[in-house]
Every structure is written in structure tokens, then in C-alpha cells.
Amino acid sequence: MSEWEIRREDLTEAQRDVADLIGIENYRKLVDIYAGELIYIPKADSFDRLVRNQKIVDEFDGGNTGELARKYHLTPVTIRRIVDEKRKSLMLAPLEGQISMFDP
């Protein structure tokens, strides 16, 4: 860590807001680590969306897109986008009892 002083009056209004929120020492650490970099701070609701999307993926069974759309107040297109990877893996998975040509 470098040896320099941060004075509150040297900071911009937005910088002062951050320093007031996390404390001047933590602000100094932030500057030491991320100086010159752009840091994106997501909106709080984006974390809610991540949890919701994981629930949708967990509940998706390959044929309940409409049900999930109604339950989560989303369009079927949005549900399909959220579950696209799981949907692809379900479509490629062998059916129960199905023999693969790659099985020994």
C-alpha cells in the first residue's frame, strides 16, 4: 500500500459519498487496488434476478415453459432464453433406457 493521505475535501462529491459509506481507510484501499479502473456496481435487483433465473432453471423440465412464464410473470421467449443451456442439454441427453451408439 502506498503512503499517501486522502483528504475528504480533495474528493469529488461522488468520491466523498463512497468514502463516507465505506470509511476513508477502505476508500484508500479501494484506490490502491482499483485506481484508474472502471468498476461496475450492479443494481440490487440484478441479484434478485439471478436468484429468480436460477429457480427457473431448476424448475425447468423441458416442457413447462408456459407454466414458468405465468408463474414468474415473464414471456415464454424470456423463459426459453433463461433456460436455453439446460434445454439444450435435456434435448441431447439420451432417453431413459436408450442405448447410445458410443456405449461399449
pLDDT in tens, 44-83: 888 999 899 999 999 999 899 999 999 999 999 999 999 9
Task: Output the pTM of the full model.
Answer: 0.55
Decide which of 16 and 62 is more confident: 16
Candidates 13, 19, 14; CA nearest to 5 is 19
Whether pLDDT at 16 is above 90: yes
Cα gap 104→39, rounded to integer Å: 52
By CB atoms closer than 10 A (0-12, 13-18, 19+), residue 34 is exposed
Cα gap 36→74, rounded to integer Å: 39
From first CA to last CA, the distance across the chain in angstroms is 59
Cα gap 22→37, rounded to integer Å: 18
Please give the average per-residue pLDDT across 26-45, as a whole number: 91
Please give the average per-residue pLDDT across 30-48, as a whole number: 91
Cα gap 104→99, rounded to integer Å: 10
Q: Are 80 and 96 in contact (CB under 8 A)?
A: no
